[in-house]
């Protein structure tokens, strides 16, 4: 019995040891898989935009240079512990774009200079009040300036461009005013901190501009033109004959989520000097207007995308014998294709910093002509839908309505792009004889004198006739 018990215990111990071994192996296997997954994600981040790798190297270079304040005795003797402020400045102000770096560097430098001067003045004023009155006056001044400065951060214009500067102003004034109560060499302290902060900011600006520069203005320009191109890709695909290729259904989604990026880039671009064909005082705000119109168009396109993949649209396409479907399909295809080609021309012109070509205007006129034809078909249709018919044709009616709205959006985008080209001084390409002939073929529509736009019936009136 004892031998049997020993064998049973030994077998149990072996199973327990085997279970622990398997657990350890599974743990390291899971860790290695997780590590490889993170490596792939990191590699993809670098491959998506190699400038991120260059930016990381630039930050490392800037930190190495300002660290010389500690490594070399002559520099350390001149600035002392204040050299640490140069390192902190590099860490907090070096941004990915030149505009972001300039924004933070200028905000930090001006705020430090102003707050340091006021802090020294506050210390001098408090010193006139005697030993008992000095802390009271300092506390009162710190309270007033901190409260006032904090309130200004709620002002939209200040928050948009100078929020970081106001924050540094509060921090620097409080440090100088409070520390000056215990430190006698307050002027030397303020001078050292200001000098090291300016040197740190200057180092960031020089490296950011002269070592593989990344301009926020150029990124904003590329983003807005790229978004218009994505809309063009969708409309061309939606009006095309290839029903199997649905790759065009994804690009527009990035347009819907681009508002925050556009606003950030426009803010940083405002700080940048003239560069790459962008003049001083370039109309960066106008890019936000174009971006807003692009998102409006993308919201209409999202509806079209829904009817491209849901079951209702599939039923409508299968009902190809429907009289209404056969009547409106050519106009819908032409409207979508012409609108897409117009956006393509606008995106190309914007990307190349030129005025839109005559072809863009021709495509817009063709799309408006197709929209008018579509409205006439719907208004004159003798098909009176029953409940069953209404369920079948409603996707067609909604699609037609959205496409007509898209034409209006495309026209507004074209007007806005032309305004930007005028304000920015883009190159105006010469119109050839062939292009002039194409323009003469465009169909001119009635114009509403009050608003200066085409007087076209709304789609609501069209639905009333059905």
Element (H, E) at 79: helix 73-79
Tokens 């609108």 -> residue: 339
Mean pLDDT of 187-192: 76
Q: So what's the pLDDT on residue 193? A: 80
Angle between helices 2-48 and 51-66 (to 10 degrees): 90
Look at residues 351, 273, 260, 280 and name the one whose alpha carbon lies nearest to residue 97. 273
Mean pLDDT is highest, among 14-18, 124-128, 381-385, for 124-128
Asked whether 346 and 231 are in contact (CB, 8 A), the reply is no
Residue 416 CB coordination number (10 Å): 19
Task: Determine which of 38-52, 127-141, 388-402 has the lowest per-residue pLDDT on average.
Answer: 388-402
pLDDT tops 70 at residue 360: yes
Query: Does 137 or 2 have the greater pLDDT score?
Result: 137
Confidence of residue 327 (pLDDT cuts 50, 70, 90): confident
Alpha-carbon distance of 163 to 216, in angstroms, equals 19
What's the maximum distance between 2 C-alpha atoms anywhere in the chain? 110
Q: What is the DSSP letter of 167?
A: H
pLDDT tops 60 at residue 441: no
Alpha-carbon distance of 380 to 457, in angstroms, equals 14
Asked whether 399 and 307 are in contact (CB, 8 A), the reply is yes
Mean pLDDT of 361-377: 88
Task: Determine which of 18-32, 161-175, 376-390, 423-437 has the lowest per-residue pLDDT on average.
Answer: 376-390
Look at residues 460, 403, 409 and name the one whose alpha carbon lies nearest to residue 292. 409
**CA angle at residue 391 from 388 to 394, to 5 degrees?**
140
Asked whether 59 and 176 are in contact (CB, 8 A), the reply is no
Q: So what's the pLDDT on residue 268? A: 95
Q: So what's the pLDDT on residue 12? A: 55
**CA angle at residue 228 from 447 to 244, to 5 degrees?**
105
Intra-chain end-to-end CA distance of the chain, in Å: 96
Tokens 């008992």 -> residue: 132
Q: So what's the pLDDT on residue 181? A: 63
Q: So what's the pLDDT on residue 31? A: 85
pLDDT tops 60 at residue 68: yes
Q: So what's the pLDDT on residue 51? A: 92
Q: So what's the pLDDT on residue 457? A: 39
Q: So what's the pLDDT on residue 463? A: 36
Asked whether 224 and 291 are in contact (CB, 8 A), the reply is yes
Alpha-carbon distance of 298 to 233, in angstroms, equals 12
pLDDT tops 50 at residue 458: no
Alpha-carbon distance of 319 to 395, in angstroms, equals 12
Which residue(s) pair with 447 in the sheet? 454
pLDDT tops 90 at residue 208: yes
Mean pLDDT of 302-323: 57
Asked whether 138 and 174 are in contact (CB, 8 A), the reply is no
Percent of the chain at pLDDT exceeding 70: 76
Mean pLDDT of 158-167: 92
How far, in Å, are 18, 26, 146, 358 from residue 30 at the CA level?
A: 18, 6, 52, 60
Q: For residue 427, which phi and psi values (nearest 5 degrees)?
A: -75, 135
324-345: b or e for each residue (b if 16 or more CB lie within 10 Å)? bbebbeebbbbbbbbbbbbbbb
Sequence ranges of the domains in the chain: 52-210, 216-464
Q: So what's the pLDDT on residue 14? A: 58
Task: Determine which of 121-125, 359-363, 379-383 has the lowest per-residue pLDDT on average.
Answer: 379-383
pLDDT tops 60 at residue 443: no
Q: What are the structure tokens assigned to 135, written together?
A: 């802390």
Q: What is the DSSP letter of 83?
A: G
Confidence of residue 178 (pLDDT cuts 50, 70, 90): confident
Query: Does 39 or 381 have the greater pLDDT score?
Result: 39
Confidence of residue 248 (pLDDT cuts 50, 70, 90): low
133-163: b or e for each residue (b if 16 or more CB lie within 10 Å)? ebeebbeebbeebbeebeeeeeeeeeeeebe
Confidence of residue 341 (pLDDT cuts 50, 70, 90): very high
Mean of all residue pLDDT scores within the chain:
80
Mean pLDDT of 221-249: 81
Tokens 């409006």 -> residue: 296
Q: What are the structure tokens assigned to 54, written together?
A: 């260059």
Mean pLDDT of 65-94: 80
Q: What are the structure tokens assigned to 185, written together?
A: 């060499």
Percent of the chain at pLDDT exceeding 90: 38
Burial class (CB in 10 A: 0-12, 13-18, 19+), 377: middle
Tokens 């080209």 -> residue: 421
Domain 216-464 has CATH 1.20.58: yes
Confidence of residue 372 (pLDDT cuts 50, 70, 90): confident
Burial class (CB in 10 A: 0-12, 13-18, 19+), 71: exposed
Alpha-carbon distance of 285 to 387, in angstroms, equals 49
Element (H, E) at 70: helix 68-71
CA 64, 69, 71, 73: dihedral to nearest 10 degrees?
160
Task: Determine which of 288-302, 339-353, 376-390 has the lowest per-residue pLDDT on average.
Answer: 376-390
pLDDT tops 90 at residue 206: yes
Asked whether 344 and 229 are in contact (CB, 8 A), the reply is yes
Q: What is the DSSP letter of 358?
A: H
Mean pLDDT of 400-413: 91
Q: So what's the pLDDT on residue 67? A: 87
């Amino acid at each position: 019995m004892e031998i049997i018990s020993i064998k049973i215990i030994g077998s149990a111990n072996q199973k327990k040891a085997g279970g622990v071994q398997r657990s350890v192996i599974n743990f390291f296997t899971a860790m290695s898989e997780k590590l490889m997954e993170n490596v792939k994600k990191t590699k993809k981040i670098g491959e998506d935009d190699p400038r991120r790798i260059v930016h990381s190297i630039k930050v490392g270079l800037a930190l190495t240079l300002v660290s010389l304040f500690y490594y070399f005795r002559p520099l350390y003797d001149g600035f002392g512990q204040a050299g640490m402020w140069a390192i902190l400045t590099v860490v907090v102000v070096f941004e990915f774009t030149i505009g972001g770096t300039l924004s933070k560097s200028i905000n930090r430098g001006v705020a430090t200079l102003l707050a340091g001067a006021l802090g020294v003045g506050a210390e001098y004023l408090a010193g006139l009040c005697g030993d008992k009155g000095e802390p009271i006056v300092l506390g009162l001044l710190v309270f007033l300036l901190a409260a006032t400065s904090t309130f200004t951060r709620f002002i939209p214009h200040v928050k948009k461009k100078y929020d970081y500067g106001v924050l540094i102003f509060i921090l620097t004034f409080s440090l100088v005013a409070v520390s000056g109560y215990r430190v006698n060499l307050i002027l030397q302290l303020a001078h050292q901190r200001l000098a090291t902060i300016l040197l740190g900011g200057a180092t960031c600006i020089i490296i950011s501009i002269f070592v593989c520069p990344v301009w926020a203005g150029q990124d904003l320009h590329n983003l807005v033109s790229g978004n218009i191109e994505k809309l063009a890709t969708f409309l061309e695909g939606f009006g095309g004959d290839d029903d199997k290729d649905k790759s065009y259904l994804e690009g527009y989604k990035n347009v819907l989520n681009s508002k925050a990026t556009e606003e950030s880039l426009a803010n940083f671009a405002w700080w940048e000097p003239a560069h790459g064909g962008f003049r001083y005082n370039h109309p960066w705000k106008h890019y936000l207007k174009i971006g807003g119109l692009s998102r409006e168009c993308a919201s209409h396109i999202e509806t079209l995308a829904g009817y491209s993949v849901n079951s209702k649209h599939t039923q409508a396409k299968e009902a190809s014998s429907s009289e209404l479907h056969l009547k409106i399909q050519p106009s819908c295809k032409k409207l979508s294709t012409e609108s897409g080609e117009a956006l393509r021309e606008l995106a190309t012109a914007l990307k190349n910093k030129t005025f839109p070509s005559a072809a863009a205007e021709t495509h817009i006129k063709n799309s408006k002509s197709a929209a008018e034809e579509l409205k006439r078909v719907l208004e004159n249709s003798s098909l009176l839908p029953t409940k069953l018919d209404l369920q079948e044709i409603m996707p067609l009616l909604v699609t037609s309505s959205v496409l007509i709205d898209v034409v209006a959006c495309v026209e507004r985008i074209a007007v806005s792009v032309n305004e930007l080209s005028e304000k920015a001084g883009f190159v105006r390409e010469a119109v050839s004889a062939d292009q002039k002939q194409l323009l003469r073929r465009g169909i001119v529509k009635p114009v509403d004198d009050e608003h200066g736009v085409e007087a076209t019936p709304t789609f609501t009136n069209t639905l009333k006739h059905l």
